[in-house]
């Protein structure tokens, strides 16, 4: 595995690959339905071998350092699945994944793979904003008898909404970087202006009010 990378190191990787984007008018619409001025498109990481390897190594380091005990990785559709797939291959663990909703055909599964009740699964997501997708995934895996022991994510937006979801489901979130580090690194590199940073901070303080 590679050397340990700090949250600022990971933020730098994402910014270098143009993952962090800003649009105030019009704003971005998130999975929760809320709107905001910042969007982190971590899917771009998949196309860059160097960045992808750094992210995977960082995930492996977190898993090792936290002594996470689990039976399988479980990627969240769609952005968490590639990272979960690579981790499962490299660490030699089974792979499952969670759809955004149940299929309308076939077995109508929402959780795919060799699901065995009682299995402990480590969820893998690319970003946690308000936590809606993560909360839905936790409900889905529990409904088929799986036990989520935590979630790996590249970015944690550090919102009160996500904190509430994590508390509700008693789930530990292990992030490689976060909203604060992204903002600090973007500002230091001149990627975001002081005005941009203030707009993003205002959104972060009250996403619902900002959306309105």
CATH of the domain at 144: 3.40.50.2020
The answer to whether residues 149 and 121 touch, using CB atoms and an 8 Å cutoff, is yes
Tell me what pLDDT residue 193 has. Answer: 81
Structurally, how many domains does the chain consist of? 1
Residue 21's CB is within 10 A of a number of other CB atoms, namely 13
In a domain, 206, yes or no: no
In a domain, 74, yes or no: yes
121-159, pLDDT tens digit by residue?
Answer: 999 999 999 999 999 999 999 999 999 999 999 999 999
Does the pTM exceed 0.85? yes
Tell me what pLDDT residue 105 has. Answer: 54
The domain containing residue 25 runs over which residues? 7-200
In a domain, 149, yes or no: yes
The answer to whether residues 55 and 4 touch, using CB atoms and an 8 Å cutoff, is no
% of the chain at pLDDT higher than 70: 96
Residue 185 pLDDT grade (very low, low, confident, very high; cuts 50, 70, 90):
very high
The answer to whether residues 82 and 59 touch, using CB atoms and an 8 Å cutoff, is no
In a domain, 209, yes or no: no
In a domain, 191, yes or no: yes
Helix, strand or coil, per DSSP, at residue 146: coil
In a domain, 135, yes or no: yes
In a domain, 205, yes or no: no
In a domain, 208, yes or no: no
């Amino acid at each position: 595995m590679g050397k340990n990378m700090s949250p600022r190191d990971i933020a730098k990787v994402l910014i270098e690959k143009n993952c962090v984007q800003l649009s105030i008018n019009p704003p971005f619409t998130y999975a929760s339905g809320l709107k905001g001025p910042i969007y982190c498109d971590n899917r771009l990481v998949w196309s860059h071998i160097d960045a992808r390897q750094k992210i995977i190594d960082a995930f492996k380091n977190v898993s090792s350092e936290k002594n996470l005990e689990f039976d399988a990785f479980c990627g969240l559709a769609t952005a968490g699945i590639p990272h979960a797939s690579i981790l499962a291959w490299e660490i030699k663990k089974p792979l499952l994944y969670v759809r955004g909703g149940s299929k309308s055909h076939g077995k109508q599964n929402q959780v795919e793979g060799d699901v065995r009740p009682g299995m402990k699964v480590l969820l893998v997501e690319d970003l946690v904003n308000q936590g809606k997708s993560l909360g839905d995934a936790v409900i889905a895996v529990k409904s088929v008898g799986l036990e989520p022991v935590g979630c790996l994510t590249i970015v944690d937006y550090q919102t009160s909404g996500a904190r509430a979801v994590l508390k509700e489901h008693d789930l530990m979130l292990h992030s490689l970087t976060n909203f604060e580090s992204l903002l600090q690194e973007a500002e230091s590199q001149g990627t975001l202006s002081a005005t941009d940073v203030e707009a993003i901070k205002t959104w972060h303080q009250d996403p619902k009010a900002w959306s309105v």
